[in-house]
């Protein structure tokens, strides 16, 4: 018999209610934009500055998650900083490069609703390298993998279960951006096709 501590991490009632809602739901992820260019030198800089994440909902090897807050290193990664501006973010609350090493799993969670009480507060992730075999991002029942570098993904973070795992052989970096948006971001949301940005 499986030990009880491994049987279930959440609330059965709460989870089953959400699973019912999500079962026939359309893909909750919208690709807002795609960045094209070369920022690998800035990723090298990020690697040299990375420290272990101080916060994480991860139950499996949280010591394998590293983070680089851009605001602590102004001007050192200008292309990554520019991404936020081009997307229409003004007042940033988060601008972190997150590096998920092989073996790290961030279990499914939703973000606190109070962080999104302001309707102008939005959050996106930007993939900084091409997705490899074993690297996944999950949103409710939808799995994203083999993404292109520079892909901007948006979802309703307080109401969508999201999770990630790295079962590949390489570290998976993304850029997490959150903050207040202007009309530029709203126009990206309204577009039917992703907007292409050259860096």
CATH code of residue 169: 2.60.120.330
Please report whether residue 9 resides in a domain.
no
Distances (CA, A) of 138 to 12, 51, 175, 195: 20, 25, 16, 23
Please report whether residue 18 resides in a domain.
no
Question: Which three-class secondary structure state does DSSP give residue 188?
Answer: helix
Residue 108: predicted pLDDT? 87
Please report whether residue 14 resides in a domain.
no
Neighbour-count burial of 125, counting CB atoms closer than 10 A to its CB (0-12 exposed, 13-18 middle, 19+ buried): buried
**Considering only CA atoms, which of 134, 133, 147, 142 is closest in space to residue 103?**
134
Number of domains in the chain: 1
Q: For residue 181, count other CB atoms closer than 10 A to its CB.
A: 22
Residue 65: predicted pLDDT? 83
Given a cut of 50, the residues of the chain with pLDDT beneath it are: 1-9, 11-13
Please report whether residue 11 resides in a domain.
no
Please report whether residue 161 resides in a domain.
yes
Please report whether residue 186 resides in a domain.
yes
Please report whether residue 193 resides in a domain.
yes
Predicted confidence (pLDDT) per residue in 131-188, tens digit: 999 999 999 989 999 999 999 999 999 999 999 999 999 999 999 999 999 999 999 9
Residue 187: predicted pLDDT? 95
Q: Name the DSSP letter for residue 27.
A: P
Residue numbers of the domain that contains 40:
28-198
Residue 8: predicted pLDDT? 45
Residue 5: predicted pLDDT? 46
Give residues with Cβ within 8 angstroms of 196, minimum separation 6: 33, 34, 36
Please report whether residue 7 resides in a domain.
no
Residue 26: predicted pLDDT? 77
């Amino acid at each position: 018999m499986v030990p009880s501590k491994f049987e279930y991490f959440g609330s059965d009632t709460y989870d089953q209610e959400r699973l019912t809602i999500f079962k026939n739901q359309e893909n909750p992820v919208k690709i807002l934009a795609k960045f094209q260019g070369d920022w690998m030198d800035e990723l090298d800089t990020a690697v040299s500055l990375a420290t272990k994440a101080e916060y994480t909902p991860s139950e499996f090897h949280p010591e394998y998650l590293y983070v680089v807050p851009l605001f602590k290193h102004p001007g050192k990664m200008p292309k990554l900083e520019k991404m936020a501006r081009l997307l229409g973010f003004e007042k940033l609350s988060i601008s972190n490069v997150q590096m998920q090493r092989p073996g790290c799993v961030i279990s499914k969670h939703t973000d606190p609703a109070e962080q999104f009480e302001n309707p102008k507060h939005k959050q996106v992730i930007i993939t900084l390298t091409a997705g490899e075999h074993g690297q996944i991002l999950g949103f409710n029942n939808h799995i994203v993998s083999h993404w292109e570098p520079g892909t901007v993904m948006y979802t309703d973070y307080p109401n969508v279960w999201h999770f990630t795992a790295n079962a590949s052989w390489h570290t998976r970096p993304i850029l997490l951006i959150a903050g207040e948006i202007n009309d530029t971001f709203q126009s990206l949301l309204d577009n039917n096709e992703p907007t292409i940005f050259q860096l």
